[in-house]
Structure 1
Amino acid sequence: MKRLLTIICLVLLPLLALAQQNSTDNTAPAEKDSVVVSLLTCTPGNLVYELYGHTAIRVREVGARQSDWVFNYGTFSFNQPHFMWRFMLGETDYELGVVPYYLFYESYVREGRGIDEQVLNLTPAEAKKLVDALSKNLEPENATYRYNFFYDNCVTRALRVIEQSVDGQVVWPKADANKSLRDMVHEFSEPSPWNKFGQDLLLGAEADQPADINKQQFAPMYAERFVNDATIKGTDGKVRHLAAPSRTLLPEQPVLAEKNFPVTPMWAFGILLALTIAISAADIGRKKYHWQYDVLLFVAQGLTGCIITFLLLFSSHPAVGSNWLALLFNPVPLVLFPWFMKAAANGCRSWVMYIQIAMVVMALIVGIAGLQHFPNEVYIIASILLVRVATHFCMTSKIKQQKVS
């Protein structure tokens, strides 16, 4: 709290004094102090939470008084109590922070990330209203908010406070009507295949619906484009651009990217499918059933299912509550594999495999019917499970025939 109060004193007092001067001295010459507000858009980074870029608001005093600050709705700390648990539940708290512009700039220089600026086309009264709103949001009781990846993040917060400050209405351009949130996730997570695969496992059918412009604004790079084309329709009926065209403050620099896992998910599961087919062929050829391999698959399937089912039932993360992949990945295999082990060890056909077939087939129907987009790796995993089901039926049948004879 002391840190925030200090920041408020350092930042807001000169800005509020300036705003008061503007409101009481409408005849002041243009060369006197004024406030310039702009939207900053930062290019993506290498870390998971940097893949989509970042957005912040820059507030400058120009003229006799000189100050330059960046208001950032994307501040969070890993040191928050129970951070990982709250993150899984979708209860992560972010807060509005403020830093001098030069520190903000230098941090992106070190990371090799670029910064674009769009100077907002605001009247002095609108700039004052925006500064007042940022000041209010910076107060300790208002600074923290419940973060939501798609619907309430650093971008949407910045755009909403800008919208609420204009004298009139912001008219946004049309968005791509055929683009979904999953399409956008794929676009930005493409450089990180395992992150892309993990997000695909967790996002449900909600992410496959066409996203309107309000939803597409969650992505900083999209928001920058929308701001470039947006206009303000004033209460007097006049129309003006929301912002000046983007200009680059810091060009993106090539840096040594973090090394991804050398094998992509597609290759990893493709190799696993080939290994599964080889093991099954060896089982049938040598007439020796390695049912322990099936147990490993059950455990992996069930553990993955625990994560997906937990998020489905308890998390407030956006778009995870409609995940049809829970048909395939759920805790059932983890619960039932002991019964499978008992039957398979005695050379008997297990009823657990019928449940496995049902889960795989239902998931495939959902995917093929287009009720939800499944990553291609899921179809490979389904093939692995079906190969082992067929092997189980084949081997248990043969074992029974041998015992009878």
Structure 2
Amino acid sequence: MHSIHRLLLVVLLLLIGISSAGASVANAPGANLEVSLITYGPGETYWERFGHDAIEVRDSVSGESVDFNYGVFDFNESNFFINFARGRMHYLMDAEYSAPEQASYMQDGRSVTRQHLALSPQQATALRDFLLWNLRLENAGYAYDYYADNCTTRVRDALDKILGGALKKQLTTQPAGMTYRQQTARLMSAQPWLMLVLDLGLGPYADQPLNAWQESFLPMVLQQQLNHVRIDNGSGGFKPLVQSEQLVSPNRLDVPPVNPPDLRLPLAAAGLILAACMRAARRWSPIGYALLTSTYLIAAGLVGLLLIGLWTLTTHHSAWANANLLFFNPLALIMLPAIWRARRGIAPSRFIEALWLLQLLAILIALSLHLMPGVVQQNQPWLLFAIPCWLAIAWSLRRGARPLSS
């Protein structure tokens, strides 16, 4: 969620400098350590839309403050885009002095919020030592996952580790407000084309019911949830984990909507308009009909090939078993010649008719899935888009079609 192009060697040199500078974060006693969660609001670039966060550790005596974050990746890494396409993303942890790090986000207009955590000296020491251990070259890298293992879940897990599992115990008992799909659509809605691509590519994994622990893959959600967490106060009672919260810098960018957009009506309307254009073109423009319908079939076939590739050739498990394959699939490519014959009034072959019946069956299966109990992929918008288009194509391919007007 945060792109920083720097070598890990720089981080290690920073660590050496911190450790050798007398009183510092690296060697301060726990009583002098102040730990805060720093949350950054969404940015303008697509990889910044989910926000970012870091753990700030400050030595109250020397005033030295360091931010530890898990969001480093490098576009210049060997085979970066190939590995990204295959779902093998290599991320790193790094550390930066707090003031310049946070100032860069303020300059970009992103909000910066500090939550001072009520950790005991022992917990603060344990967290600092864990973060320094994690910063070592042999420990800093990890296999990134959008939802299950990202820069925020790593921060969350580090806090949970030193709290003895108290964070996970409390959050897993609370329901989440949204699913992975809904949060993704909400945060990407400022870039509609990318939001639609992601929604089309997400499978049923993205629609599973979540608890608050799982939904805390988002920085802003984790920030909100920590305000409700209680921890042992050392005297047999409990105290709030968040001791105080401060808005360091307000947001100056467009704020994501509170709720995800409802794509059903827009995509249903788009499907009906496209189907109507197919029918009108078939009557008045044979070439226009063939080009328009072929474009749809090519797009449906290529999308199907992509979905199959994501399922079988990558580790993007959030895209596996995508039910959109039932109406966007490679069979559409086989129907292309029949479209060009149909514009001359030539009836489709029995093979093409069988393909259409198979496609009709697939659509009926897609509709039936929504009547079944359990987790169902929320792909109604794409189903509403595809159904009128396929019906228009079936109408144009019906046996005994008459020659089109010239």
TM-score with structure 2 length normalisation?
A: 0.83
2:5 is aligned to: none
Q: Distance in 2 between matches of 1:360 and 1:114?
A: 45
CA distance in 2, matches of 1:375, 1:79: 39
Taking the aligned partners of 2:25 and 2:53, their CA distance within structure 1 comes to 25
Match of residue 366 from structure 2: 363
Q: Is the 8 A contact 2:345 2:401 kept in 1?
A: no
Please tell me whether residue 391 in structure 1 is matched to residue 390 in structure 2: no
What residue is the counterpart of 1:140 in the other structure?
A: 137
Instruction: Map Cα deviations across residues 283-318 of structure 1 (whole Å, 9 max, x no partner).
Output: 246889943433222211011111111112222224
Task: Write out per-residue CA displacement over residues 1-49 of structure 1, whole angstroms, 9 at most, x where no aligned residue.
Answer: 53233122023445897675637xxxxxx7xxx1211101111122222
Tell me the residue number matched to 2:205: 206
- CA deviations 1:308-351 (Å, max 9, x no partner) are 111122222242223211222222323x2455357546712142
Partner of 2:170: 172
Distance in 1, Cα, partners of 2:300 & 2:400: 25
Match of 2:259 in 1: none
Which deviates more, 372-381 or 130-139? 372-381
**Are the aligned partners of 1:71 and 1:96 in contact in 2 as well (CA < 8 Å)?**
yes
Displacement, 1:251? 0.9
Aligned-residue identity in percent: 25
Matches of 1:215 and 1:319 in 2, distance apart?
A: 14
Instruction: Say if 1:187 and 1:256 are closer, same or farther in 2 by CA, change over 3 A.
Output: closer
The 1-side partners of 2:116 and 2:218 are apart by 19
Alignment of 1:163-312 (within 5 A): 163-166=160-163, 169-170=166-167, 172-173=170-171, 174-176=173-175, 179-233=178-232, 237-254=236-253, 270=269, 273-284=272-283, 290-312=289-311
Q: Answer yes or no: is the 8 Å Cα contact 1:15–1:131 preserved in 2.
A: no
RMSD (Å), alpha carbons = 3.2
Per-residue CA deviation, residues 161-190 of structure 1 (Å, 9 max, x unaligned), is: 112123673453553356322232233233
Q: Secondary structure at the match of 2:34?
A: strand
1:375 CA drift (Å):
4.8
The one of 119, 125, 128 equivalent to 2:125 is 128
Q: Give the Cα–Cα distance (whole angstroms) in 2 for the partners of residues 193 and 342 of structure 1.
A: 33
User: Per the alignment, do residues 287 and 49 of structure 1 end up closer, same or farther by CA in structure 2, a change over 3 Å counting?
Assistant: closer
Could you tell which deviates more after superposition, 373-382 or 336-345?
A: 336-345
Contact 1:172 1:229 in 2 (8 A): no
For 1:287 and 1:121, locate their aligned partners in 2 and report how far apart those are by CA, in whole Å.
72
Query: Does residue 114 in structure 1 map to residue 111 in structure 2?
Result: yes
Distance 2:209 2:182 in 1: 10
The residue type equivalent to 1:2 in the other structure is L
- Give the drift of 1:156: 1.0
Bigger radius of gyration, 1 or 2? 1
Look up the equivalent residue of 2:13 and give its one-letter code.
T
2:55–2:68 CA contact under 8 A, matched in 1: yes
- Partners of 2:115 and 2:245 lie apart in 1 by 5
CA contact under 8 A between 1:150 and 1:318: conserved in structure 2?
Answer: no
1:354 maps onto 2:357 in alignment: yes
Task: Name structure 2 gaps, 5 residues minimum.
Answer: 1-7, 257-262
1:155 corresponds to which of 145, 152, 157: 152
Whichever residue aligns with residue 9 of structure 1, its letter is I
Q: Which residue does the alignment assign to 1:26?
A: none
Q: Are 1:48 and 2:46 matched, yes or no?
A: yes
Task: Mark the runs of 5 or more structure 1 residues left unpaired by the alignment.
Answer: 24-29, 258-263, 401-405
| Residue aligning to 1:380 | 385
What is the aligned partner in structure 2 of residue 27 from structure 1? none
Q: CA 1:41–1:20 in 2, change beyond 3 Å: closer, same or farther?
A: closer
- Describe the shift of the 1:155–1:14 C-alpha distance in structure 2 as closer, same or farther (beyond 3 A): farther
8 Å contact kept, 1:4–1:140: no
Distance 1:242 1:16, change over 3 A: farther
In structure 2, give the amino acid aligned to 1:140.
L
**What do the CA deviations read for 1:208-234 (whole angstroms, capped 9, x no partner)?**
121012211101111011111112236
Where does residue 82 of structure 1 map in the other structure?
A: 79
Counterpart residue number, 2:330? 331
CA deviation string 1:257-293 (max 9, x = no partner): 9xxxxxx997687456424413413424688994343
Q: Output the amino acid matched with 2:277.
A: A
1:260 alignment partner in structure 2: none
* Displacement of 1:360: 3.1
CA distance, structure 1, for counterparts of residue 322 and residue 205 of structure 2: 8
CA contact (8 A) 1:306 1:330 kept: yes
Contact 2:38–2:112 (Cα < 8 Å) also in 1: yes
1:43/1:252 contact within 8 Å kept: yes
1:98 is paired with a residue whose SS is: strand
Letter in 1 for 2:379: F
Q: Greater shift after overlay, 161-170 or 266-275?
A: 266-275
Residue aligned with 1:309, SS: helix
Cα distance between partner residues in 2 of 1:86 and 1:287: 44
Q: Is the 8 A contact 1:16 1:132 kept in 2?
A: no
